[in-house]
Structure 1
Amino acid sequence: MTADPTDVAPALDATASAEQLEQEGDIAADYLEELLDIADIDGDLALDVRSGRAYVSVEADAASSLSRLSEPDTVQALQELTRLAVQTKTGHFSRLILDVGGSRSVRQRELADLVDRAATRLDDGASQASLPPMSSYERKLIHDIAAERGLVSESYGEGADRHTVLRRA
């Protein structure tokens, strides 16, 4: 059966209003609160809207209570489930970003280290440095970090194999 093009989720809408993004954050927070209650995990939710995205953070006084959820693959899976919950309620694709126990900050530092190691390879004579496949959000962070460091970055590949290649300007 061929899908009706009118049933396809709308393309990424970079012009979503702050009100729409706040609504996404509220829906996501409700979904995550239920999930945390079911799993009997304590956590506080913080909502923010910036750079055209809703950001939801799950934080706890005792980091150990979130340790099961803060692994990068788990955060990515929870983010996808949360995006689906938002999409189900709104009818629109969500670009929501989820952070659990500061995992996004940790991952951003890891990505910065990855770019720095690639820059060292370039300084040592490599014409380019390929990074491993990663999510579109992580590739965006790589592009931003690379630009800050005076590097040129481009993404190549499709789907799960999409990766970033860095080179000197």
Structure 2
Amino acid sequence: HPRPPRGGGGGGGGGASGGAAGRDRGRRGGSGGGRRRGGSGGPRGGSGGGQRGPRAEREPQLTEQDFFGEGAAPPPRQPARSGPPPRRSSGGGGGGGGSRRDRPRRRREENIEPDINAEEVDLAAEVVDSILQILEIDADINIREPVTAGDGLGSARAVIDISGDDLGMLIGRRGESLMAFQYVVNLVMTRRFPGRGSVTIDVEQYRRRREDQVVSLAERMAERVRDIGEPITLEPMSAAERRLVHLALVDDPEVETNSVGEGDSRKVVISLLED
């Protein structure tokens, strides 16, 4: 059944965090300013929040790049070849040990321009609203432009910041719930607007704090590798965090990074760059 239109006009946009332009959607179920969530539940005006368009015969397939940024997509499949399979390195140092599929390219072939007013961002914000209402979580959301690699700069249209009290359940252990939350939001957005980039979801600036920690760790371990002359293997990380390590050290003239392992055990090895 169609929902009744949202009554009244929303308030003004909030300020941006991190120096980037942003807009505040207000507090769910509260009486604060900005756009209110949890009211009549009707669709927003504009081309992005109206009726669902005709469904395509085949939905687009999603990749890690849609959710974790440029450079995270797996390489194209190689044709099968005869003979014994290639030997797999045990993942020590140097240039061996696993695929580099999550290592960022030095030159990006495609760059998604930030646009906090894009219709796909509006849709993503509506999905976030709906999930928060289902979970009965009272929180504010603010939409801003990505400014760092952790924000998805170059691949994300916008960052949706969620703030409030007792939001630990949205983050989960080592950010697992937050990654799942972001996956669902981007799943809906990408199916409606394929090829239009993604959004990054952050809760209480968890991603920004974690980005600072990962980059600092990468720089410290790179310095240690230079001191001892031996490779160092970091703890297992998500694809997004491994990408942060690669980006932090991609221009270092003395060390290189490689991803090794499979699944949840995938990790980054930092080693001296061979002459």
TM-score bin, normalised by smaller chain: 0.7 to 0.9
Alignment partner for residue 233 of structure 2, among 121, 125, 130? 130
CA deviation after TM superposition for structure 1 residue 36, in Å: 0.8
Q: What's 1:37 paired with?
A: 133
Corresponding residue for residue 82 of structure 2: none
Q: Which residue of 2 aligns with 1:83?
A: 186
Query: Is 2:214 the partner of 1:111?
Result: yes
The match for 2:176 is 73
Q: Decide which of 58, 61, 74 is 1:9's aligned counterpart.
A: 61
Which protein is richer in helix relative to its size? 1
Shifted more, 85-94 versus 51-60: the winner is 85-94
**Number of residue pairs matched?**
162
> Cα deviation per residue 1:80-128 (whole Å; 9 max; x = unaligned)?
1112121332245854321111010121122124324523541452521
Partner SS, residue 68 of structure 1: helix
Matches within 5 A, 1:89-168: 89-92=192-195, 95-119=198-222, 121-147=224-250, 151-168=255-272
AA of the residue aligned to 1:103: Y
**In 2, distance between residues paired with 1:108 and 1:16?**
21
Match of 2:14 in 1: none
Structure-2 change in CA distance of 1:158 and 1:36 (3 Å): same
Greater length-normalized contact order (CA 8 Å, ≥ 6 residues apart): 2
2:156 corresponds in structure 1 to: 53
AA at the equivalent of 1:136: A
Structure 2 CA distance, aligned partners of 1:145 and 1:77? Answer: 25
Residue deviations 1:122-159 (CA, integer Å, cap 9, x gap): 14525211223333222221112223665322223444
Structure 2 residue identity aligned to 1:152: E
- Over the matched positions of the two proteins, sequence identity in percent amounts to 23
Which TM-score applies when normalising by structure 1? 0.74
Determine if contact 2:115/2:157 at 8 Å carries over to the other structure: no
Cα distance, 1:161–1:22 mapped onto 2, change above 3 Å: farther
The Cα of 1:76 is off from its aligned counterpart by 0.9
Which shows bigger deviation, 15-24 or 44-53?
15-24
Name the one with the larger strand percent: 1
Structure 2: 5+ residue stretches without partners: 1-57, 71-109, 147-152
8 Å contact kept, 1:79–1:98? yes
Deviation per CA, 1:22-65, whole angstroms, max 9, x where unpaired? 333222111000111122222222333542312332332x4x24
